Structure 1
Amino acid sequence: MEQPKGYVRRIVTGHDEQGNSIVTEDGPAPSVHTNPKRVGYYLTNLWLTHEMPVKVDNGADPTLSPLQLEPPKNGSVVRIIEFGPEGEWTKQLDNAGAKEAFGALGTNKASTYKEGGHPLMHRTESVDYALVLEGEIHLVLDKEERLMQQGDFLVERGTSHAWANRSGKPCKMLFVLIDGTFDAEIAKNF
């Protein structure tokens, strides 16, 4: 049977009362989100942390909280995003539509829309690790682009960027976002 879009099997471990390692969860990741302004977009939060060092316990599933694009303050988030191919919907996005798209991701501050740039340009105050799992996608920056294909890995350090899937097929990526702080020079332009 074919799995629904955004499906990722997630296994979580923990400890029993005697301190033995056990599986506490095994099933579909419960935090799957779509975006009404981005056709074919599925964001699946796999886990997140709220502090460093991370409290190691059998606590509640942190992905069941409301969706937020940025990682928690002093925390991290790991997710898989499937980007559908771009089409007419992309050309119709203006600044208000981009802000609405980012609002659906739990933020209104992410859009750094620029005339002539990609309508979904954004940046977060974080270091992001990104790995292409399936397909291909263009990393769009202020002054250049790079095509990323299956197996390609990116370290994104708080730069304005967008993801443009021009392939005609879905692209699936793994992301780890770690909370960060801009230095004073970068922060004044944020």
Structure 2
Amino acid sequence: MSRYVRRVVTGHDETGKAIVVSDGPATNILERPSRPGVALINLWQNFETPAAWDGPDETVEDALILHPPHNGAVFRVIHFEPENPEVLATLDGKAAFSAMGAGNNIIEGARHPFMHRTDSVDFAVVLKGRIMMLLDDTELELREGDTLVQRGNNHAWSNRFDETCIMAFVLIDGKGSVERWNKQS
């Protein structure tokens, strides 16, 4: 599977003139055997809101984790290869998400091993292919060009199709009443 994503970052020179700071392949990529066929590619992170446009020239040198920074945001691309249901049935979602610092976000006993909840508001767009978005009791097919605003929901991504799905995400640190939902369960 091709993981190449060109990443261009702009900035300013010492006189304030707009320049290209970097232009090349994104290198902050997470692939792991515990979640075969999925590659997360971080492109940029903000560590505060409002975002500093004159901050560091690089923000994704550290290990890739699922969540955006506290009061920040992360911009990433994810490649989802078609799932093999037989392999999927053998996978441990908690172990896979632990590799991204999010083992506690897995929904135990859910209908998909990677059902999870993030403490963020996520903006997503399908760049290529199709994917199923699974919620607690429903699912929805998203196709190339479709967009999604996800607000701290239990969800999983399932590529049940015959081609790679590529999605772009912006995850913004969020707050909510997860405790309220947990009490109703």
* Alignment TM class, shorter chain as reference: over 0.9
Q: Which residue of 2 aligns with 1:112?
A: 107
Q: CA 1:163–1:108 in 2, change beyond 3 Å: closer, same or farther? A: same
> Which residue, 71, 76, 82 being the options, matches 2:79?
82
- Cα distance in 2 for partners of 1:62, 1:68 equals 13
TM-score by length of 1: 0.90
> Which residue, 26, 31, 35 being the options, matches 1:34?
31
Amino acid at match of 2:17: N
Q: Which residue of 2 aligns with 1:133?
A: 127
Q: Which residue of 1 aligns with 2:160?
A: 166
- Cα distance in 1 for partners of 2:107, 2:98 equals 13
Q: Which residue of 2 aligns with 1:102?
A: 97
Listed as ranges, the gaps of 5+ residues in structure 2 are none
Per-residue CA deviations over 1:102-154 (Å, capped at 9, x if unaligned) read 01223222211325x11110011110011111110000010100011101111
The 8 Å contact of residues 11 and 57 in structure 2, kept in 1 or not, is answered as no
Q: How big is the shift at 1:180?
A: 0.4
Q: How big is the shift at 1:60?
A: 4.3
- Cα distance in 1 for partners of 2:18, 2:55 equals 11
Which residues of 2 match residues 53-64 of structure 1 at below 5 A? 53-64=50-61
- Cα distance in 1 for partners of 2:136, 2:87 equals 21
Match of 2:113, SS state, is coil
Q: CA 1:49–1:187 in 2, change beyond 3 Å: closer, same or farther? A: farther
Q: CA 1:189–1:68 in 2, change beyond 3 Å: closer, same or farther? A: farther
The 8 Å contact of residues 40 and 170 in structure 1, kept in 2 or not, is answered as no
How many correspondences in the alignment?
Answer: 183
Q: How big is the shift at 1:188?
A: 5.1
> Which residue, 46, 56, 63 being the options, matches 1:66?
63
Q: Is 1:150 aligned to 2:148, yes or no? A: no
Q: How big is the shift at 1:70?
A: 0.6
Q: CA 1:31–1:146 in 2, change beyond 3 Å: closer, same or farther? A: same
Q: Which residue of 2 aligns with 1:182?
A: 176
Q: CA 1:113–1:48 in 2, change beyond 3 Å: closer, same or farther? A: same
The 8 Å contact of residues 133 and 156 in structure 2, kept in 1 or not, is answered as yes
TM-score by length of 2: 0.93
- Cα distance in 2 for partners of 1:7, 1:105 equals 21
Q: Which residue of 2 aligns with 1:11?
A: 8
RMSD across aligned C-alpha pairs, in angstroms? 1.7
Q: How big is the shift at 1:57?
A: 1.9
